[in-house]
Amino acid sequence: MTRLAVPKTYKLYIGGAFPRSESGRTYEIVSAKGAFLANAAKASRKDARDAVVAARAAVGGWSGATAYNRGQVLYRIAELLEGRRAQFVAEIVDAEGVSAAAANAQVDTAIDRWVWYAGWTDKYAQVAGNANPVSGPYFNISVPEPTGVVAIIAPQDSSLLGLVSAVAPALVAGNTVVVVASETLPLSAISLAEVLATSDVPKGVVNVLTGSPAEIAPWLASHQDVNALDLVGAGALDWIDLQIAAADTLKRVLPPENGPDAAAPSLDRITAFVETKTVWHTKGLI
C-alpha cells in the first residue's frame, strides 16, 4: 500500500507569522496541466494593511542593522534555498509545466541573485554616496538611506525568480517589503516565505500576500504609510491608475516591466528605493 501524502496548507506571510486571510477566502491553484495543487489564501484589503503595519514596524530594526549584518542575513537566505532546492524545483515543474532542467536553472539563478544582492549591502552606499567639496568651511557628505516600506507587485509569469529579483534589491538598503506574489504561481512565494521565516530575516521585513493583484494593489498604492511602489509585475493591471494613486503621497514608483529580463539585477533597483541625505557639518574655525 502506497503512503498517502500530506499536502501543505499555503497561507499568507505577515509579520513573521503565517495567517490565513482574515477574509477566510482561498482560491484554487492548478498545475500547468490543470490538476489541483492547493488552495492559496486570497488576501484582502485588511491583510494588505496588516502587512504594511508589520513592514513599518520592522523598518527601524532592519534599516538600523549594520550593512555587514544585512549582507549576512541575505546570504543566509541563499544558503537555505540551496538546501531546499529540490522542493522549489518540484514546485516550479508542477506550477509552470517546465522541464526539471529549466526549473533547476530558475532556482540556481534565484539563489545566485540573493548572493549578488547580499554582497551589495555594504557597498552600495560607497557607490551611491559621496563627499562634496563645497565652497566653505563645511564637511559635507551625501549618504543614501532606505526610503522605508516598499510595496511590490511581483512579476506574474515566474514562480520564484521574478519574486526574488524584485524583493532582494529592495531589502539591500534596509527597506522592508510587502510583496503581492504572482496570482497564478503563488506557491513558491509561500515556500520562500518559509525559508525567510527560518533564516535570520527579522519578522516583518518581508511580507508575502497571495491573491488578486488587481484587488490588492490599489490599497497598497494609496496607502499613506507605504513609501515606494514597484509595479514591475503590474503590466496587466490598470497600472496608470496605480501610479496616480501613488502620486497622492508622492511615492517613489518603478514602472511595469515585461519579459524574462523583468527586474534584471542592477544597482538601479537598489538605488530606486533610497533617499540621499546630505549633511553639512560646520568645521570649527581654529
Binding site residues, another protein, CB under 8 A = 127-128, 130, 132-136, 138, 140, 142, 147, 227, 235, 238-240, 243-244, 246-250, 252, 255-259, 261-264, 268, 275-282
Nearer to another protein, 14 or 254 (CB): 254
- Collect all residues with Cβ–Cβ distance below 8 Å to 19 and sequence separation of at least 6: 11, 12, 47
Q: State the minimum distance, in angstroms, from the CB of residue 57 to another protein.
A: 15
Q: Smallest Cα–Cα separation from 232: which of 139, 185, 167? A: 167
Report the distance separating Cα 160 and Cα 94, nearest Å: 13
* DSSP states along 116-145: HHHTTTTTHHHHH-EE---SSSEEEEEEEE
Identify whether the C-beta of residue 153 lies closer than 8 Å to the C-beta of residue 237.
yes
Nearer to another protein, 191 or 213 (CB): 213
Q: At 26, is the secondary structure helix, strand, or coil?
A: strand
Give the residue carrying C-alpha cell 513609501.
227
Nearer to another protein, 2 or 135 (CB): 135
Q: State the minimum distance, in angstroms, from the CB of residue 243 to another protein.
A: 4
Nearer to another protein, 15 or 155 (CB): 155
Q: State the minimum distance, in angstroms, from the CB of residue 275 to another protein.
A: 5
Q: State the minimum distance, in angstroms, from the CB of residue 40 to another protein.
A: 25
Give the residue carrying C-alpha cell 557628505.
141
Q: State the minimum distance, in angstroms, from the CB of residue 38 to another protein.
A: 29
61: its cell numbers: 530594526
Q: State the minimum distance, in angstroms, from the CB of residue 9 to another protein.
A: 34
Nearer to another protein, 72 or 249 (CB): 249
Identify whether the C-beta of residue 265 lies closer than 8 Å to the C-beta of residue 185.
no
- Would you call 45 exposed, middle or buried from its count of C-beta atoms within 10 A (0-12, 13-18, 19+)? middle
Nearer to another protein, 24 or 64 (CB): 64
Identify whether the C-beta of residue 24 lies closer than 8 Å to the C-beta of residue 179.
no
Nearer to another protein, 61 or 235 (CB): 235
Q: State the minimum distance, in angstroms, from the CB of residue 35 to another protein.
A: 31
Identify whether the C-beta of residue 50 lies closer than 8 Å to the C-beta of residue 17.
no
